[in-house]
Chain A
Amino acid sequence: MTTQPVSTFYKMQNFLTGIRRVAKQGFVTFWRAGVVSFTGVFVSTVTLFIIGAVIIANAFLGATLTELEGKVDVNVYFVTTAAEEDIMILKGKLEALPEVAYVEYVNREDALARFIERNKGDADITLAIDEIGENPLGAVLNIKAHEPKQYLSIVSYLETQTENVLAAGNQSIVDEVNYADNQEIIDRLSALTTSARELGIFVSLIVIAMSALVTASTVRLAIYNSRQEISVMRLVGANNSYIRGPFVIEGVMYGFVAAILSAAILYPATLWVTKTTEGVFGGINVVQYYVANLGQILIILLLSGIVLGMFSSYLAVRRYLKA
């Protein structure tokens, strides 16, 4: 076995030629393998579709939960005689709390206007308001926390504060804090959203892992079909990386084509989901979300598809390359 000295340039050229040949063979075999390639692409498409659906479902779940959480607030109702500057002082103190997302002040006139607006259809109430003549409603502070479980501390803070903020006649300016009514809902919701998010992640991971395994097994079967070819290539004197290369390229092709296909199928799927769930959820518009994040989703699908295909092929061929 004689080894002649080879220049770096020659080695480099050889290397590039090798890469070009491997790539060409990979593409050509992908095209010619027909049914095998179709199966590989089909199974990968299903996997990537599931991954895409999981991403969208998680976004949808997250948005729905956030919106539900957003619906919860604590309202502080003031007595009609409460002075606006006292209320503003309390508002300022509340805003300084780290738990508080924002505080909305609704003055007496606005409160009345909103009340009338809400009960527009109800003739009795409209009539009653007219009857009273003066505005029966006090000002309101609507407080939103960052997270549902923070309301408890906000309310206890309110309790200590309102005792200090007294109107004339030593009477508290606060008429009512409606937290107690909401408390149960808030507690349940915060428990629900936490577990829903955890469950979402857990289920997603399992579903993704399962479908990835199915793809890997399919690729493995496809390469099992080629085991005789692999042994022939070895006998003809091809080295391991030269044999493996085209299979890895095929795996990349499965992933690439499947990513494009699954992205295409996701569009009508999101349309359908939006249409059938219309009016049921308060959540985001799934189609809009999909279209707005198409770039990101496509990149995730491409990357996972290509990595999955490459890796499955690599591992599957390795079995037949052991001497």
Chain B
Amino acid sequence: MLKFDKVSKIYADNSIALADVSFSVAGGEFISVVGHSGAGKTTLMKMILAEEHPSEGEVLFENVNIHKLRRDRIPEFRRRIGTVFQDFRLLPNKTAYENVAFAMEAAGKPDELIQTDVPEVLELVGLVDKMWNFPGQLSGGEQQRVAIARAIINQPDMLVADEPTGNLDPVNTFDVVQILKKINDLGTTVFLATHNKGVIDFLGKRVITMEKGKIIRDDPTGKYVL
């Protein structure tokens, strides 16, 4: 489904973010990437979202080179990938419901579908009762759950989560990981970048370990080793 083929990223100041990275992800996999800050995890994520372009090599999503897509095709492509970030990135002037609905509206989905799907997804993340709250009225864990709901509302092929538990306490971390697992169980590929040893050990799924822009380990049922 996703394939990195000898991808390197060298920034203008000659700092190397990724060096000759190759791996592939099969549909339905739950894959975690671990590594210290600056190991290249975020660059990797940005490349999947066509936010960054590789200096060398190519990134294929379902056999299409992401970075050769025409600019006006990129929004459509991004709708096939859900994204979750450490800092939630909700739209502050929209309620939980509207934040989730925005992703559907942007994709041009019909109103009837939005009205039935949004509460369903919020139900899945356990936030139906806070549907009309603004992000400022929600706790960190709740905000992240809204962000996850938004990420999966368009039934993406893949969910990319960049340290989604980085700002959360252990209880909320556990909740979020449970939700990610549930999403994976329902068939969506999940691509998770994390620092959290507990999360990796709990998942017991494939782990890629990165250091200085390189993949140093790729374990099918990995542990957090650094």
Contact = CB atoms under 8 A, between A and B. Distances in A.
A223 to B, nearest CB: 13
Contacts of A1: 62, 64, 69, 73, 76-77
Nearest to B62: A1
Given A233-B106, A237-B79, A33 B74 contact: no
Contact of A235 (B78, B105, B107): B78
Interface in B67-92: 69, 71-79, 83, 89-92
A174 B132 CA distance: 92
B204 to A, nearest CB: 29
Interface of A: 1, 14, 17-18, 21, 28-29, 32-33, 228-229, 231-240, 242, 323
B118 interface: no
Nearest to A14: B108
B107 A237 contact: yes
Interface residues of B, number: 30
The 10 closest A-B pairs by CB, nearest first: A237-B79, A238-B106, A237-B78, A239-B75, A232-B89, A236-B103, A32-B93, A237-B75, A21-B105, A235-B83
A1 to B, nearest CB: 6
Contacts of A28: 93
A242 B103 CA distance: 11
B92 A242 contact: no
A233 B91 contact: yes
A23 to B, nearest CB: 12
B143 interface: no
A254 to B, nearest CB: 16
Contacts of A238: 75, 102, 106
B71 to A, nearest CB: 6
A1 B110 CA distance: 21
A18 B110 CA distance: 10
A27 to B, nearest CB: 12
